[in-house]
Amino acid sequence: MLLRIDHVGIACHSLEAAVERYQSVFGLTVVSRETNEQQGVREAMLALPDGSSYVQLLEPLGPDTPVGRFLARRGEGLHHVGYAVADVAAALDAIGGRGARLVDRRPRHGSMGASIAFLHPADLGGVLTELVQPRDVRET
């Protein structure tokens, strides 16, 4: 069902400062910048050289957003992990059928044209978990 680790999502106070740091320390390259009003974030995706995994840096659009509340409670750090799947709707059905709680019952729009859904951390060792069907997979 899960194909690989697609990305780690990192909550930060300043997107620009975090981008600068990840570029200068690791030589990573920004391949996408987006603002997602629904999720309440500005973000940058930095590509790893394997071409299929990313570091996602997330700055909240305000304090009353999921990432804003995360920062207030825990400070900067790992916010979630995303796994690539071939079919996010099918994966949601299968996972829901196994008794794991879902945040999203249906896929929604994610970064870089992906179709995504979040799973609740309570059943997954406290880890907010995202399923990611990348755009090129969805279009085939």
* Residues within the interface to a copy of itself (CB under 8 A): 1-5, 7-8, 10-12, 18, 21-22, 24-28, 48-50, 52-53, 57, 74-81, 83, 95, 98, 100, 121, 123-127
Cβ proximity to a copy of itself: between 113 and 121 the closer is 121
Alpha-carbon gap, residue 49 to 59, rounded angstroms: 24
- The nearer residue to a copy of itself, 42 or 80, going by C-beta atoms, is 80
| Distance in Å, CB of 35 to a copy of itself, minimum | 19
Residue partners of 2: CB distance under 8 A and separation at least 6: 83, 84, 85, 91, 131
Identity of the residue, 47 or 61, whose beta carbon is nearer to a copy of itself in the bound complex: 47
The minimum distance between CB 13 and a copy of itself, in angstroms, equals 9
Supply the minimum distance, in Å, between the C-beta of residue 136 and a copy of itself.
Answer: 16
Provide, rounded to whole angstroms, the least separation between the CB of residue 106 and a copy of itself.
Answer: 19
Q: What is the distance of C-alpha 99 from the center of its chain? A: 22
**CB closer to a copy of itself out of 62 and 125:** 125
